[in-house]
């Protein structure tokens, strides 16, 4: 291989070229489908699905609700715009190396993708953002990036890549604009979408109340276990990046902890004991909301691609 990280770009691209018809070989838009959102593929026509297993350098997604293939197809009116969608993404918590997690994004860039639309499921830290809301991400807060788990650590991927990638405008303002215009054109109303800051945590555990409170106090609106690695690789590859987070649950941040001391005091004093209910979040809940909102997400992504293409 010619690149310093020995990533098998040539083999991957040759495999894809052998499997795809001419009109699907140069996708303009890349789409990453988050938890429960692989039904986005329903927006594609003349689909050719290529399993990750048949692509050199690709890992396998092991998360329930995630498939493991690239879907190539056409979106929108007329001849349609060629796109490629990741049905199922890879997460560091599955044991994939960060370089493996972002490899599909780098492949997309080499296929000719210029715009990247990333979707994910996220928990809301901001109490004003309701379950079911789609958040247009305007910035991120990534503790892993700041503490030795940055996906771009290591030798530069090639000669013309920046060593110190600026992230002051990582989230494309023009694509965010198209997201809101799409919501308007679909008659969803601008309020169907919110804007906010996405906090990336490595997972696979959900946040403790103290961790949720810390992220909220630090300025994050939603939290999730994905996306930021793909954003960094996308920016490094020179792509315009849009992130849409579907809020599948509220992160539980109690103002006051259940006090066992107070309960024992009440019990010893012969007073009635009021036990606080402790809430918790589950992956089933995350998948269920994903399923309910998948259609809206699909329509939105479809419209955004149309607007990009008419550009
Ligand atoms: N925390 C982290 N990741 C998530 C959540 C959450 O509450 N919901 C969906 N992905």
Q: What is the dihedral of CA 291, 134, 240, 226, to 10 degrees?
A: -60
| Cis, bond preceding 33 (omega within 30 deg of 0) | no
Cα–Cα distance list, 130 to 66, 68, 92, 216, 277 (Å): 24, 30, 28, 15, 21
How much is the pLDDT for 2? 43
Pairing of strands 81-87, 222-224: unpaired
Residue pLDDT tens, the chain, 311 long = 344 567 899 999 999 999 999 999 999 999 999 877 778 888 899 999 999 999 999 988 787 766 889 999 999 989 999 999 999 889 998 899 999 999 999 999 999 999 999 999 999 999 999 999 999 999 999 999 999 999 999 888 888 888 899 999 999 999 999 999 999 999 999 999 999 999 999 989 999 999 999 999 999 999 999 999 999 999 999 999 999 999 999 998 888 888 999 999 999 999 988 777 677 777 887 788 777 888 899 999 999 999 999 98
Helices and strands: H and E segment counts in the chain: 8, 9
Bridge partners, 247 (sequence order): 122
Ligand 1 contact via 281 beta carbon (within 6 Å): yes
User: Closest Cα partner for 165 from 243, 219, 231, 103?
Assistant: 231
Quote ipTM for the complex.
Answer: 0.98
What is the distance between the alpha carbons of residues 9 and 192, in angstroms, rounded to a whole number?
A: 39
Task: Give the global pTM.
Answer: 0.93
Q: How far is the CA of 223 from the centre of ligand 1 (A)?
A: 6
Give catalytic status of residue 182 as yes or no. Answer: no
Catalytic residue selected from 38, 126, 226, 245: 226
CA of 76 to the centre of ligand 1 (A): 32
State the SS3 of 253-290: CCCCCCCHHHHHHHHHCCCCCCCCCCCCCCHHHHHHHH
């Amino acid at each position: 291989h010619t690149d310093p990280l020995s990533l098998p770009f040539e083999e991957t691209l040759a495999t894809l070229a052998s499997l795809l018809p001419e009109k699907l070989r140069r996708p303009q838009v890349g789409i990453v489908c988050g938890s429960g959102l692989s039904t986005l593929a329903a927006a594609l026509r003349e689909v050719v699905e290529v399993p990750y297993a048949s692509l050199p350098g690709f890992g396998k997604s092991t998360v329930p609700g995630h498939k493991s293939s690239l879907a190539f197809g056409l979106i929108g009116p007329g001849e349609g715009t060629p796109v490629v969608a990741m049905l199922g993404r890879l997460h560091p918590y599955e044991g994939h190396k960060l370089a493996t997690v972002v490899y599909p994004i780098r492949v997309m860039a080499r296929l000719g993708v210029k715009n990247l639309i990333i979707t994910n499921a996220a928990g809301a830290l901001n109490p004003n953002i309701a379950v079911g809301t789609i958040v247009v991400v305007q910035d991120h807060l990534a503790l892993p990036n700041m503490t030795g788990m940055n996906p771009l650590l290591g030798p530069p991927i090639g000669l013309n890549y920046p060593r110190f990638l600026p992230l002051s405008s990582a989230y494309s303002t023009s694509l965010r604009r198209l997201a809101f215009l799409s919501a308007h054109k679909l008659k969803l109303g601008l309020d169907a979408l919110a804007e906010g800051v996405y906090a990336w945590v490595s997972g696979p555990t959900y946040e403790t109340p103290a961790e949720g409170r810390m992220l909220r106090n630090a300025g994050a609106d939603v939290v999730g276990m994905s996306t930021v690695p793909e954003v960094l690789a996308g920016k490094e590859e020179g792509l315009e990046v849009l992130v849409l987070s579907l809020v599948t649950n509220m992160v539980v941040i109690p103002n006051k902890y259940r006090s066992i001391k107070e309960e024992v005091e009440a019990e010893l004093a012969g007073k009635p004991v009021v036990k606080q209910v402790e809430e918790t979040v589950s992956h089933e809940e995350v998948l269920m909301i994903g399923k309910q909102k998948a259609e809206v997400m699909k329509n939105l992504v479809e419209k955004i691609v149309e607007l990009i293409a008419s550009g």
